[in-house]
Amino acid sequence: MSGQNFSVRTDRDKLAAIDAIAKAQDRSRNDIVNETLDHYLRAEQQWIAQVNKSLAAAEAGDFASEDEVGALFKDFEDKGFEDRAR
């Protein structure tokens, strides 16, 4: 893989965890860090896209009705999620 070098400071525990994963998978530290960055960047890009989509919907006045919100909370309660929300 071609690319640019950059340096990151991290604590010993994180570096040891990266090295343990690399050793267990017979891969390099570089491979593990790059794969981790790929996962992180993809997740953050998806989150940003969803936030922007939601903001656009809100700006357009596209909100859930009171009945829709009530039905959602009832569904959570029916599934036993009410304790987790408190």
Tokens 């050793």, located at residue = 23
Q: What is the dihedral angle through the alpha carbons of 21, 27, 31, 35, rounded to the nearest 10 degrees?
A: -50
* Interacting residues of 24 by C-beta distance below 8 A, sequence separation 6+: none
Reduced DSSP (H G I as helix, E B as strand, rest coil) percent helix, strand, coil of the chain, to 5: 65, 0, 35
Of 73, 50, 64, nearest to 84 by C-alpha is 73
Domain locations along the chain: 12-78
Please give the model's pTM, rounded to 2 decimal places.
Answer: 0.68
The pLDDT assigned to 3 comes to 87
> Per-residue confidence of the chain (86 residues) as pLDDT tens digits?
678 999 999 999 999 999 999 999 999 999 999 999 999 999 999 999 999 999 999 899 888 889 999 999 999 888 887 655 44
